[in-house]
Amino acid sequence: MPHWLHKLRSSRARVWLAFGLVVVFLLAQVAWWLIFQRNTIQQNIEYAETAWLQEAALVQQLWAATAPENRQALLSELRQAFPHLEVEDDRVYVNPERLKAYRTEQMRHLRMFAYEGPFFLLVMLLGLYIIGRSLKSEQELKRRQQNFLMAASHEFRTPISTLRLLAQTLQMRELSREKQLAYLTHMSHEIDRLEDLSERLLATSRLAQGLGQIKPERHDLNQAVSRCLARQQNTLVARGVTLHLEPAPTPLPVDLDPEAFSLVLSNLLDNAVKYSPGPQKPVWVRLRREGSQAVLEVEDRGVGLSRGELQQIFEPFYRVGDEQTRSTRGLGLGLYLVKSITELMGGRVWAEALPQGSRFVLSLPLLEAQGLAPERSLA
């Protein structure tokens, strides 16, 4: 196991241990608080009952020792000093209504504490949960960034090593014209690969810094897709792709930036090819009109997606599968660029899991549905 991964897991274990201790402490503290308050209120009730009974006995003695002609004045004083006592003939006793009201008031305080304690605990646990989710997201992002650095190093090292080997071979050996052309073609492909990697990194950097700007113009989505596929036809065929294009029967006028859209479609196709492990890689590109939207679908018969990955795959640095056993190349930026650029063009994109393979759906608003002028250009 890599040292950084072991360190990350150890740090994560310590964080969750600390969270567990805090949760246990909060549960114990609230439980003790409720028990303490219940015992205290129960003691207050018992003390009040005992004290009032003692007061009633003392007042009974005072009442018996007072002359009848002085009892009226004493009664007025007793009612002010001991409102919870009642004097009836020669008997002094605790007013049961006053005692009941006192008990009710104390029990109301206990219920208040019983509600406040769990509410306090709930708020604290919710705060801890939010902090824990934030820490987990941060750790996940760090893990993906580490995976991205390793993947980027590998992605750049492979074509560079291939170019160096081919260049040294051309320098050191006399080759036939056919061999030279084959080597030069291979070198050209590797240079295209490096250029594609660099473009993705630069595009991601611009988006992260808020510099992602596009210049949308009116285009027919059918024609835009056809032009992009024509440019990539040879590369797709070389990778074993059998492409099935199903254009819409009518024009689909949308606002898009041709270069940005080309990057979007290229990433969708690259994703379909990467995760189709067989030698034959059928890919369907469909276009259709759906209400006020122009819809583009890219469908494959590859390894597919799980339900839990349908949203995560559009996050930066996320790559499908286990990082330790992954065999597919990539930086985890392609679908992030697809989502970001599509949203900049006013559209949206989502993924659908199929019984075999996956489908990516891109939706752009139709200009006709918006009643816009035939041509426009945005800064």
In the block, tokens 């291979």 appear at 186
Shared domain for 91 and 178, answered yes or no, is no
Radius of gyration of the chain (CA): 39
Q: Is residue 29 part of a domain?
A: yes
Mean pLDDT for the stretch of residues 365-378: 53
CB 148 within 8 A of CB 331: yes
Q: How far is CA 187 from CA 194, 227, 331, 349, in A?
A: 11, 25, 21, 34
- Kindly state whether residues 130 and 83 are assigned to the same domain: yes
DSSP states along 6-62: HHHHHHHHHHHHHHHHHHHHHHHHHHHHHHHHHHHHHHHHHHHHHHHHHHHHHHHHH
Q: Are residues 56 and 183 in the same domain?
A: no
The last residue of one of the domains, among 143, 178, 200, is 143
Q: Where does the pLDDT of residue 154 fall: very low under 50, low under 70, confident under 90, or very high at 90 and above?
A: low
For the chain, what is the domain count? 3
What range defines the domain where residue 68 resides? 3-143
311 and 260 within one domain? yes
Domain boundary at 108, 143, 178, which? 143
CATH code of the domain containing 198? 1.10.287
Q: Is pLDDT at 22 greater than 50 in this prediction?
A: yes
Of 109, 143, 177, the position where a domain reaches its end is 143
- Same domain? For 36 and 91 the reply is yes
312-325 pLDDT per residue, tens: 788 766 665 544 43
Residues 49, 18, single domain; the answer is yes
Assess if residue 27 is contained within a domain: yes
> pLDDT by residue (tens digit) across 176-200?
888 888 888 888 877 877 777 677 6
Confidence of residue 121 (pLDDT cuts 50, 70, 90): confident
Same domain, 131 and 164: no
Q: Say what the pLDDT of residue 373 is.
A: 39
Structure confidence at residue 147 as a pLDDT band (50, 70, 90): low
Q: What is the CATH number of the domain that holds 250?
A: 3.30.565.10
Residue 349: count other Cβ atoms within 10 Å of its Cβ.
Answer: 21
Give the CA distances from residue 52 to residues 47, 48, 104, 278, in Å, rounded to whole numbers and listed in that order. Answer: 8, 6, 16, 91
Q: What is the pLDDT of residue 202?
A: 67
Query: What gap in Å lies between CA 366 and CA 362, rounded to an integer?
Result: 13
Query: 223 vs 261, 296, 328, CA distance in Å?
Result: 12, 12, 31
Q: Are residues 340 and 231 in the same domain?
A: yes
User: Do residues 120 and 232 share a domain?
Assistant: no
